[in-house]
Amino acid sequence: MSKEMMTNRIKKIGNKRNFMLESQAKEMNENNKIVILVSKTDKGIENIDLILEPNKFEELSSKVRLSYEEYIDVINDLVEAEEAEWDELRMKDQVNITRDAIIQATILKYAQNEYGIDKNKYSGISINYDKRFDEEGRFLGEATTVTLTAIALMEVKIK
């Protein structure tokens, strides 16, 4: 096949579409909740994802804030959990761990107020970040996902 025929064929087909990016961007724009709740249950394990999109971060911070006492509790819990390894952590790791704990606590406070979710009913809590892009593939920021896990058979509770 000649180069000219190949070029003409590509023009007919058009640019390759990235449906994942398009769907992700559309979902972000249509969402009117500050934190999206996605619940899944599989084989007795319940997972609740609380997703904060990058374009909703400011809205969350103006709607929900930790009180001084809540903030101190988050820092104290963090210090207790990380005490053994704290001196080995790089400053960057210390900053990231502290940031994650504050963001997680704020999202959980919002979820309690908005959805009535009690974090103490869940045996596991984790935080993750996922990159978000617009339809053209430009980086928009990171979505923050706090995942709560409950195993129905165990009835495990955190403090």
SS3 per residue for the chain: CCHHHHHHHHHHHCCCCCHHHHHHHHHHHHCCCCEEEEEEEECCEEEEEEEECHHHHHHHHHHCCCCHHHHHHHHHHHHHHHCCCHHHCCHHHHHHHHHHHHHHHHHHHHHHHHHCCCHHHCCEEEEEEEEEECCCCCEEEEEEEEEEEEECCCCCCCC
Residue 10 lies in a domain: no
Residue 5 lies in a domain: no
The mean pLDDT of 144-150, rounded to a whole number, is 96
In the chain, the number of structural domains is 1
Residue 94 lies in a domain: yes
- Full residue range of the structural domain in which residue 143 is found: 16-151
Q: What would the pLDDT profile of 54-106 be if each residue is shown by its tens digit?
A: 989 999 999 999 999 999 999 999 999 998 898 899 999 999 999 999 999 99
Residue 115 lies in a domain: yes
Instruction: Kindly report whether the global pTM for this prediction surpasses the value 0.95.
Output: no
113 has pLDDT over 70:
yes
